[in-house]
């Protein structure tokens, strides 16, 4: 099976050196580690916003960066979705326009809006369609940002500390929502966070970062079964 | 937190009073001016209409050209390093302090069918570019261009690059990023540049005089006509018309630049 | 007509009178105008930049009017105000012995009016850009407002201020429309732009070429100097 993402790159910035190599097959991989260890830099490299010094990156089996062969696909051609820490929604367009702008698999304004609307429903933001980003709360904004990131039918979605700018309460609420939307969409995801709880709750695989290197990879043990929430009698303790 | 989206931002109490006073003064002044204008206009329609309509045509055409090229030039300067960048910057800024007669002189040199460049241009375009309204348009456009370009550049540089980055990850090609993100967010500054550019284009005198030749009916714009009829009664009417045109152009562009989508 | 540099030197350098006369008029008028503009413009720019009262924007807009108005309209306005009957004209005659219109000093006034906005706007922008915390710190250290301005704010804004003065000087040198109306192209008061216009009309191509080239060189040099002062914030 082709990997959703294969990364093997190095990059120097000042005195900092990033040297990482990992692979994502499916599901959500979390880049976890303290601040300043190169996690967001890795995302920027995957997205094509920055070029590595050496190495290769492939998305869904397609080489998008190869320093030796001088291959560097532009961010717009990489078929990725990106969710930023502060949303970065276009302030002068409505919510539905923001999401519709990301839709590229269909043509025509109405078709795009329909796709956008369905995504807004999936993230629980259907009622916000005609609002302006400046009028949204932090949690609402990130929901819209998530919808925008997924609406373009990407092969991979990147989330750069999507919940870090939110209040603790909102953050906890949003975790379940994010997890649900991403897993049900089936799109492989790479998520950056420095919050351990978040990493455990959102990830299928945790890739640990320290000082510009990957120090370990481990799968997340999931103890919950789908009916956990409503029916105690079906609950089984996992081994 | 639902907020009603109105065209104008809701004003505070003090601002309302100030606005009221301003409107009253403006109304009175405008009323006087319009009355005088109407009287003069009707009386001197024959003499005044020619320059007025000519100025209208020339300034509109000049602003179209200067606006588009100015924004394009400003975008290029804001965005990248390219060969000839320094040239664009300096040459594009020259008309700000270059004496209008000097500009007129060199424009005449470049556009005259007698010279090599001028001959080529004349053949390409199809008709001469001096001593007719085309020359006036060029003179006014050149005068307005640097203001449009500089303002556009500053405004475009002020747009948050992170938003452009986000748009790229959404799959938009560069030209769409410019059209959908950069330019709309820069519209205030661009509008200011167009405003002052149109003021320049309307009032252009020295270069228009030389390139156009002050030919009655053909190249005598309002600015020129005011001087030619300095001792005649039509002069005041022409001045009023020119000032009014300037005010309307500036308000119009200002409003356009301000409107939320 | 008196010149700053002795005629003999000019002849020796090969600079003909039809260049030097308008050049010296332009330089003298522009210098006088720029001195006034620099002082008043910077002072007003400082007041507008550091003040906190409403109406600041309005004052700047009103002072910027000459930039937006056609030069012929500005010239007309000055001519009627300075030359027409009234208290201003009587004051002029009392002070100078002759009215300002159609005279050297009338040109200076016209240039002051036309170039003032350039200096004002640029110095206001430059002073606004200075971190207000620096001025606050200085005040806390015990400096009076005047000393804060002279020792802290203005020196930090000097690049923008110098750029504004330079641009104003260039604008004064290059003024045509307003100068034309106020001076009426009297030989005593012919500036470079007007001399060029006369040369073009008269058909003396050689003179026109030289005059145009000199002015182009001056404008170019000023622009180069201004851009060296760093990225000047647009209006």
Inter-chain residue contact B169 with A47, CB threshold 8 Å: yes
Mean pLDDT of C121-126: 90
Is residue C200 within 8 angstroms of chain B, CB to CB? yes
Interface of C with B in 66-85 (CB under 8 A): 67-73, 76
Q: How distant is the Cα of B5 from the closest Cα of chain C, in angstroms?
A: 26
pLDDT band at residue A229, thresholds of 50, 70 and 90?
Answer: very low
Mean pLDDT, range A45-51, rounded to an integer:
91
Q: Kindly list the distances between the CA atom of residue A22 and the CA atoms of A31, A53, A216, B70, in Å, as whole numbers in the listed order.
A: 10, 17, 10, 48
Whether residue A238 has pLDDT greater than 50: no
For the segment B60-68, the average pLDDT, to the nearest whole number, is: 94
Cβ contacts (< 8 Å) between A102 and chain B: which residues? 170-171
Q: Quick one: pLDDT at residue B15?
A: 66
Examine the pLDDT at B133 and tell me if it is beyond 80.
yes
Confirm or reject contact between C196 and chain B (CB < 8 A). Answer: yes
B29-58 pLDDT, tens digit per residue, is: 766 666 666 666 666 777 788 888 889 899
pLDDT above 50: residue B194: yes
DSSP class per residue in B190-253: HHHHHHHHHHHHHH--HHHHHHH---TTTT--HHHHHHHTTTSTHHHHHHHHHHHHHHHHHHHH
Q: A interface mutation test: which of B162, B168, B170, B261 has the most A CBs within 10 A?
A: B170
pLDDT of residue B39: 67
Q: Cβ of A152 and B1 within 8 Å? A: no
Contact assignment for B167 to A90 by CB distance below 8 Å: yes
Task: Record the tokens describing residue B257, joined without a space.
Answer: 């630049």
- CA B199 to chain A, closest CA, distance in angstroms equals 28
Count of pairs with CB atoms under 8 A, one residue in A, one in B: 57
pLDDT at B187 over 60: yes
The answer, yes or no, to whether residue B260 has pLDDT greater than 60, is no
DSSP H or E segment with residue B85: helix B85-93
CB contact under 8 A, A135 and B172: no
Q: Which residue has the tokens 């698999």?
A: A105
pLDDT tens string B1-23: 334 444 445 556 666 666 777 77
A90:B162 CB<8 A: no
**Chains A and C lie in contact, requiring 3 or more CB pairs less than 8 Å apart:** no
The answer to whether the CB atoms of A76 and B172 lie below 8 A apart is yes
Q: Where are the beta strands (DSSP E) in chain A?
A: 5-13, 16-24, 28-32, 54-59, 62-66, 71-72, 80-83, 156-160, 189-193, 205-210, 213-219
C229 touches B: beta carbon within 8 Å:
no
Please report residues of A whose CB lies closer than 8 A to that of B2.
131, 135
Residue B66: pLDDT band (50, 70, 90) is: very high
pLDDT class of C190 with cuts at 50, 70, 90: confident
Query: Residue A193 pLDDT more than 90?
Result: yes
User: Do A90 and B261 lie within an 8 Å CB cutoff?
Assistant: no
pLDDT for A1 equals 65
The yes-or-no reply on B/A contact (3 CB pairs or more, < 8 Å) is: yes
**A81, pLDDT greater than 70:** yes
State how far the alpha carbon of A51 is from the alpha carbons of A44, A149, B166, in Å: 9, 22, 17
- Percent of chain A, pLDDT > 90? 54
| Averaged pLDDT of chain C | 83
Residue from A81, A88, A133 to probe the interface with B (highest B Cβ count within 10 Å): A88
Closest CA to B200 of A56, C64, C39: C64
Average pLDDT over residues A178-207: 92
Instruction: Write out the two tokens for A80.
Output: 């990725």
Which tokens hold the place of B141?
């456009």
Cα B136 to chain centroid distance, Å, stands at 13
pLDDT band at B102; cut points 50, 70, 90: very high
pLDDT at A239 over 50: no
pLDDT of residue B3: 42
Contact A76 B169 (CB under 8 A): yes
Which residue bears the tokens 């002279």?
A: C150
- Which long-range contacts does B227-231 make (Cβ < 8 Å, 24+ apart)? B227/C72, B227/C180, B227/C181, B229/B47, B230/C76, B230/C181
pLDDT tier for residue A19 given thresholds of 50, 70 and 90? very high
Judge: C216–B204 Cβ closer than 8 Å, yes or no: no
Please state the length of chain A: 239
pLDDT at residue B5, as a whole number: 45
Q: What is the DSSP letter of B9?
A: P
What confidence category does residue C185 fall into, taking pLDDT thresholds of 50, 70 and 90?
A: low
**C197·B154 Cβ contact <8 A:** no
| Facing C216 at nearest CB: one of B98, B100, B242 | B98
B261 at A interface, C-beta within 8 A: yes
- Hey, is the C-beta of C16 within 8 angstroms of any chain B C-beta? no
Q: Which two tokens stand for residue A29?
A: 């991989």
Average pLDDT over residues B141-154: 93
Asked if residue C3 has pLDDT above 80, the reply is no
B220-240: average pLDDT:
82
**pLDDT tens by residue, B165-177:** 999 988 888 899 9
What are the strands of the beta sheet with A71-72, ordered from one edge? A71-72, A62-66, A54-59, A5-13, A16-24, A213-219, A205-210, A28-32, A189-193, A156-160, A80-83
pLDDT computed for residue A236 by the predictor: 46
Mean pLDDT, residues A171-178 taken together: 90
**Which residue's structure tokens are 């009386």?**
B43
What pLDDT is attached to residue B214? Answer: 82
- Segment A67-89 shows an average pLDDT of 89
Do B211 and B130 touch, CB atoms closer than 8 A?
yes
Q: Which residue of B has its CA nearest to A76?
A: B171
Cβ distance A36 to A213 under 8 Å?
no
Q: For residue C14, what are the CA distances in angstroms to B225, C6, C8, C18, C218?
A: 40, 13, 10, 11, 19
Average pLDDT over residues A136-150: 93
The alpha carbon of residue A105 and the mean position of all alpha carbons in its chain are separated, in whole angstroms, by 19
Question: Is the CB of B166 less than 8 angstroms away from the CB of A101?
Answer: no
pLDDT at A59 over 90: yes
User: Which pLDDT does position C212 carry in this prediction?
Assistant: 93
Return the minimum-mean-pLDDT range out of C123-132, C153-162, C178-187: C178-187
Percent of chain B with pLDDT strictly greater than 70: 84
pLDDT of residue A234: 45
Q: Given CA atoms B229, B234, B238, B240 in this order, what sign does their dihedral have?
A: positive
The overall average pLDDT reported for chain B is 82
Q: What are the residues whose beta carbons fall under 8 Å from the beta carbon of A22, sequence distance 6 or more? A: A7, A29, A207, A214, A217
- Shortest CA gap B2–chain C (Å): 30
pTM of this prediction? 0.78
B151/C170 touch (CB, cutoff 8 Å), yes or no:
no
* Nearest residue, CB atoms, B205 vs list C54, C176, C224: C176
Confidence of residue A231 (pLDDT cuts 50, 70, 90): very low
Query: Which pLDDT belongs to residue C45?
Result: 93
Kindly list the distances between the CA atom of residue A72 and the CA atoms of A2, A6, A50, A51, C209, in Å, as whole numbers in the listed order. Answer: 20, 15, 10, 8, 53
How far is B245 from chain C, CA to nearest CA, in Å? 11
Chains in touch with C (≥3 Cβ pairs < 8 A): B
Question: Which residues from B are below 8 Å from C224, CB to CB?
Answer: 90
From the list B97, B210, B246, which residue is nearest C68 (CB)? B246
Residue B41, pLDDT score: 65
- The pLDDT assigned to A232 comes to 47
Per-residue pLDDT tens for C91-112?
777 776 666 677 788 889 999 9
Instruction: Return the minimum-mean-pLDDT range out of A209-213, B72-76, B117-121, C159-163.
Output: B117-121
- Over range A139-158, report the average pLDDT: 92
Mean pLDDT within B209-234: 84
Question: CB–CB of A101 and B170 under 8 A?
Answer: yes
Q: How confident is the model at residue C5 (pLDDT cuts 50, 70, 90)?
A: low
Contact C219 B192 (CB under 8 A): no
Chain B residues in contact with A153 by the CB 8 A cut-off are: none
Which residue of A76, A98, A136, A146 is the best one to mutate when testing the B interface, meaning the one whose CB has the most B CBs within 10 A? A76
Asked if C235's CB is within 8 angstroms of B151's CB, the reply is yes
Long-range contacts of B87-93 (CB under 8 A, 24+ apart): B89/C227, B90/C220, B90/C223, B90/C224, B90/C227, B92/B145, B92/B146, B92/B149, B92/B150, B93/B146, B93/B149, B93/B150, B93/C223, B93/C227
């Amino acid at each position: 099976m082709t990997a959703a993402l294969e990364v093997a790159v190095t990059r120097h910035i000042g005195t900092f050196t990033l040297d990482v190599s990992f692979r994502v097959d499916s599901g959500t991989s979390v880049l976890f580690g303290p601040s300043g260890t190169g996690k967001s830099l890795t995302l920027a490299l995957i997205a094509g916003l920055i070029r590595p010094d050496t190495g290769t990156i492939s998305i869904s089996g397609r080489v998008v960066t190869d320093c030796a062969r001088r291959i560097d696909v532009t961010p717009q051609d990489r078929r990725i979705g990106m969710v930023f820490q502060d949303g970065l929604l276009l302030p002068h367009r409505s919510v539905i326009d923001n999401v519709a702008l990301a839709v590229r698999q269909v043509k025509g304004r109405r078709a795009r809006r329909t796709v956008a609307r369905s995504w807004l429903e999936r993230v629980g933001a259907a009622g916000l369609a005609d609002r302006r980003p400046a009028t949204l709360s932090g949690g609402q904004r990130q929901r819209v940002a998530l919808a925008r990131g997924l609406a373009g039918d990407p092969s991979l979605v990147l989330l750069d500390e999507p919940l870090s700018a939110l209040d603790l309460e909102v953050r906890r609420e949003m975790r379940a929502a994010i997890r649900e939307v991403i897993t049900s969409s089936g799109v492989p995801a790479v998520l950056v966070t420095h919050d351990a709880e978040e990493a455990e709750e959102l990830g299928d695989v945790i890739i640990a970062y320290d000082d510009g290197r990957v120090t370990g990879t481990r799968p997340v043990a999931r103890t919950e079964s789908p009916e956990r929430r409503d029916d105690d009698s079906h609950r089984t303790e996992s081994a | 937190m639902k907020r009603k989206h109105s065209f104008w931002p809701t004003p505070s109490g003090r601002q309302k009073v100030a606005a009221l006073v301003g409107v009253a003064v403006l109304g009175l002044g405008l009323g006087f001016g319009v009355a005088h204008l109407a009287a003069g206009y009707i009386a001197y329609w024959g003499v005044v209409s020619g320059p007025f309509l000519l100025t209208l045509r020339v300034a509109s055409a000049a602003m179209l050209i200067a606006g588009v090229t100015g924004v394009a030039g400003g975008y290029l300067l804001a965005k990248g390093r390219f060969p000839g960048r320094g040239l664009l910057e300096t040459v594009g800024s020259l008309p700000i302090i270059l004496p209008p007669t000097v500009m007129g002189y060199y424009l005449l040199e470049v556009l005259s069918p007698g010279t090599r460049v001028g001959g080529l241009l004349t053949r390409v375009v199809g008709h001469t570019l001096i001593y007719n309204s085309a020359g006036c348009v060029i003179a006014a456009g050149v005068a307005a261009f640097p203001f449009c370009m500089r303002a556009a550049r500053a405004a475009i540089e002020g747009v948050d690059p992170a938003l452009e980055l986000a748009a790229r990850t959404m799959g938009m090609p560069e030209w769409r990023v410019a059209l959908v993100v950069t330019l709309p967010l820069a519209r205030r500054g661009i509008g200011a540049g167009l405003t002052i550019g149109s003021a320049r284009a309307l009032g252009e005198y020295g270069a228009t005089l030389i390139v156009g030749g002050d030919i009655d009916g053909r190249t005598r714009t309002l600015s020129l006509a005011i001087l030619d009829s300095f001792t005649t009664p039509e002069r005041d009417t022409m001045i009023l018309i020119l000032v009014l045109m300037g005010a309307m152009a500036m308000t119009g562009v200002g409003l356009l630049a301000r409107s939320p989508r | 007509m008196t010149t700053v540099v002795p005629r003999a030197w000019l002849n020796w350098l090969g600079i003909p009178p039809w260049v030097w006369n308008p050049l010296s008029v332009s330089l003298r008028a522009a210098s006088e105008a720029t001195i006034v503009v620099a002082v008043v413009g910077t002072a007003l720019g400082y007041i507008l930049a550091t003040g906190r009262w409403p109406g600041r924007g309005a004052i700047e807009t009103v002072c910027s009017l000459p930039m937006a108005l056609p030069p012929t309209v500005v010239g007309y306005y000055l001519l009627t105000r300075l030359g027409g009957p009234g208290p201003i004209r009587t004051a002029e005659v009392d002070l100078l012995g002759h009215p300002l219109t159609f005279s050297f000093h009338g040109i200076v006034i016209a240039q002051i009016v036309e170039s003032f906005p350039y200096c004002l706007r640029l110095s206001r922008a430059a002073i606004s850009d200075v971190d207000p915390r620096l001025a606050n710190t200085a005040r806390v250290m015990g400096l009076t407002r005047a000393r804060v301005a002279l020792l802290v704010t203005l020196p930090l804004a000097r690049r923008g201020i110098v750029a504004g003065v330079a641009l104003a000087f260039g604008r004064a040198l290059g003024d045509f429309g307003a100068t034309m109306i106020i001076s009426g192209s009297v030989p005593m008061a012919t500036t470079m732009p007007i001399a060029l216009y006369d040369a073009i009309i008269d058909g003396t191509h050689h003179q026109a070429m030289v005059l145009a080239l000199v002015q182009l060189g001056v404008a170019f040099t000023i622009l180069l100097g201004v851009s060296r002062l760093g990225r000047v914030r647009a209006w």
